[in-house]
Structure 1
Amino acid sequence: MAQTATTTDCVYCGGHGYVQLLLGGSETCCGCQGTGSETEDDGVSKIFVGDIPK
């Protein structure tokens, strides 16, 4: 079976590549590393360091 990949706007930054901080300024989105899009591969899931139980 061939795997397919689709590209969608990042759910964290809305496709901008950065997030606005509450106290001013912005920083690179941790969800897409500044690209503004996410690639979703079949059968592969993303795990962020903050999601790992201690």
Structure 2
Amino acid sequence: MALASNLLASRRQINQLLNWHWKLKESESQPELISGWRGELLAAPLQAILQDY
């Protein structure tokens, strides 16, 4: 599947994911990048990348 990168994630969504991962902001819900249709495509690869950080 070929998608433009700006359709996969905006800068805001990437920042939301990093803040959630590093627990910089209190949030009970998962970020947009690992939920919904984006989560189906990106959750596993992103979590694999972030586990080292």
Same fold (TM over 0.5): no
Measured against the shorter chain, the TM-score band is under 0.3
TM-score after normalising by structure 2: 0.21
TM-score after normalising by structure 1: 0.21
Q: Per residue, is there more strand in 1 or in 2?
A: 1
